[in-house]
Structure 1
């Protein structure tokens, strides 16, 4: 019996039991679809997050004082960096700029007679913004009552806030500061690791006059503003990690921060690239775990194919006897039933791939992340379908080929 003839007989057998064959392949369809859907979501999420964090610039170094230097950026950060520290770090070799960053507690923002709740603003210096970050207007100036908002914050009001509008910021300390919107950002995503990864409303302000936290400098005795986090820009992106090391060394040797920080705290300097590596590891681990769970469906599907093939062998015992009586060899019977199992596996893999891609696309649109087509996993799905068919059908096919023709012809 040649391969083409065996394939035709196998297909006829499958078509003769359409409902049973459909239910048999369902496990494979669900398993493959689940794997591709989760891989698509994982790829889209990784690209979205990496794009957001990477938008902060490859030359950025995030600096903070914490108990756990391997934790996420800003975790447990203490306000220890004084204005004196900021100024001294600007002279460190390879440093282009040092931007102090802190959170200003808010209760509300008012514009055009409309008040909306807003929990905080971000106090930074103008160097925090690049030209491409701002879609309209400009960055604020130091010491001016000016603010920059992202599109999400601008759209909080019934009439979107635009450049030139006046806003009132109700600060957490009870003050109300009237300011002018001088810039609207191009994106609502955070500009750096400390901003977070979501597209939430953000208002950026200069430290003066919005941020008032001060401390007495242990070195000079002056009252200086103090910040919990710093964003250091390296002159060359490839030297960002080395610049971070030099910044930490400078802080440990001679800084107000070294004296203000608790004894069990350390200075952490993390480049955006190092953060991306951590995020990739986390996302890969999460994706692998979810895919592992989805693979269980493939195991269930393979058991279903093996079960139905054993039933098929039993039902066709007399047919096997007739084929052997007219000259069919053991290998012909083995080939016949193995092909049937492989066809079920391949059909399940193909349908599961289509369903998985569609489900993955719909899911990425729903959660608003990029759609990344899983080319590798699509190929793997087809191969897995074939392997599932082969492994699940191997024993039933071998069992069928070992059937004694005389006993088979007597079978009722």
Structure 2
């Protein structure tokens, strides 16, 4: 029997049982639609998140010492091990433009204009932590001065909101009070790299110079002097091309001859990461989540394939006499096999072709609801069609083989 004739007979069989064929294909439609929806949402989320993070990439190398094997993100569990001596040595490495320390000053409250609000901590860092375009008003603080920089969320803790030139009073966790002047207000688009947002986040942030606010000190193992010691450090490379070399140099210094290597707890390890490392980790996380959810959606396809197999077995039983007649007039086993296999493949193909637009529509509706711009994974459309055909082949293979081995004499006697 020619292929075209088998195709015509298979299509006629599908059309003669419209409702049954529609319900059979519906399982495949739902399965493919679920897969396309989740894959599209995953691709769109990945593009959106990585687009935002990637746009803010800087030639920074982030350094901290945290619990070995723990993956809590940049600075997680960081211990103060980087001395002033380490910072000076890091500044002298080839390809390094600047070194920015970061520490935390525990506080109880901040007061301004007769109003007091709770504030658990302020961030101590250096003026090079900021770029000139980070500021909506004012400037960076100066080292050695009682000056502070705040983001919009911190300014709005007070009514009226704090502005440049106002004085604030910090009540430290130790009970001491320190007066300072607000000299800079960060804009909403400012970004502080991996460790914290400079102004774009929702958390109120207050930044102060390490001198005179930061007072965590330790005796340097190299010099024997009492020096400030920091939990996290950002090493800024001269340009993006120098980042890999700078990262390797920083790791080599920390491992071999730094104060930090002698101060770090035994169960802790150094983490040296760049913006690209963090982007790659985020990409891997989103991909893993998308694959997991898509795997759940594939269960619908399995159910759809079982539906096709079931209907094809019923079809073989209903058409037993027809099979006997076909064989009596000369049809070979391969002709019968081809006929029923084509019918199953057509059901799977139609289901996948209809499932693609349904899946895109579902992803569009979900994207509109959560405010996400869609990025269509076109390669998955081809995969969906291939999966639909494969489902038809797998689901129809046994029923088709069962039909092909039917004895023509028994089939003709079948009532």
Same fold, judged at TM 0.5 (above): yes
Aligned residue for 2:389, secondary structure, equals helix
Greater mean deviation of Cα atoms: 174-183 or 379-388? 174-183
TM-fit CA distance, 1:373? 1.4
Q: What residue in structure 2 maps to residue 82 of structure 1?
A: 83
Over the aligned positions, Cα root-mean-square deviation in angstroms equals: 3.8
CA contact (8 A) 1:111 1:161 kept: no
Aligned residue for 1:61, secondary structure, equals strand
CA contact (8 A) 2:78 2:231 kept: yes
Q: What residue in structure 1 maps to residue 404 of structure 2?
A: 401
CA contact (8 A) 1:305 1:341 kept: yes
Provide closer, same or farther for how the CA distance between residues 87 and 352 of structure 1 changes in structure 2, counting only shifts above 3 A: same
CA contact (8 A) 1:53 1:193 kept: no
Q: What residue in structure 2 maps to residue 140 of structure 1?
A: 140
Separation of aligned partners in 2, 1:229 and 1:195: 11
Q: What residue in structure 2 maps to residue 350 of structure 1?
A: 353
TM-fit CA distance, 1:208? 4.7
Aligned residue for 2:92, secondary structure, equals coil
Q: What residue in structure 2 maps to residue 33 of structure 1?
A: 33
Provide closer, same or farther for how the CA distance between residues 351 and 165 of structure 1 changes in structure 2, counting only shifts above 3 A: farther
Provide closer, same or farther for how the CA distance between residues 95 and 368 of structure 1 changes in structure 2, counting only shifts above 3 A: farther
Residue ranges of structure 1 left out of the alignment (5+ in a row) = none
- Deviation per CA, 1:33-54: give whole Å up to 9, x if none: 3322332333334334434543
1:73 aligns with 2:86: no
Q: What residue in structure 1 maps to residue 387 of structure 2?
A: 384
Separation of aligned partners in 2, 1:334 and 1:353: 29
Give the 5 Å matches for 1:3-402. Answer: 3-68=3-68, 71=71, 72-105=73-106, 120-130=121-131, 134=134, 136-137=136-137, 139-142=139-142, 143=145, 145-149=147-151, 153=153, 164=164, 173=173, 175=177, 180=182, 182-187=184-189, 191-195=192-196, 199-208=201-210, 211-218=213-220, 224-251=227-254, 255-325=258-328, 328-367=331-370, 371-402=374-405
CA contact (8 A) 2:64 2:75 kept: yes
Separation of aligned partners in 2, 1:59 and 1:334: 63
CA contact (8 A) 1:104 1:122 kept: yes
CA contact (8 A) 2:103 2:125 kept: yes
TM-fit CA distance, 1:383? 0.6
Residue ranges of structure 2 left out of the alignment (5+ in a row) = none
TM-fit CA distance, 1:148? 4.0
- Deviation per CA, 1:34-87: give whole Å up to 9, x if none: 322332333334334434543453521111123427744223210122344323
CA contact (8 A) 2:28 2:348 kept: yes
Separation of aligned partners in 2, 1:75 and 1:149: 23
Provide closer, same or farther for how the CA distance between residues 179 and 370 of structure 1 changes in structure 2, counting only shifts above 3 A: farther
Q: How many residues align?
A: 407
Aligned residue for 1:206, secondary structure, equals strand
TM-fit CA distance, 1:146? 3.4
Separation of aligned partners in 1, 2:351 and 2:167: 59
CA contact (8 A) 1:102 1:229 kept: yes
Give TM-score, length-normalised by structure 2.
0.80
Provide closer, same or farther for how the CA distance between residues 155 and 164 of structure 1 changes in structure 2, counting only shifts above 3 A: closer
Separation of aligned partners in 2, 1:361 and 1:187: 28
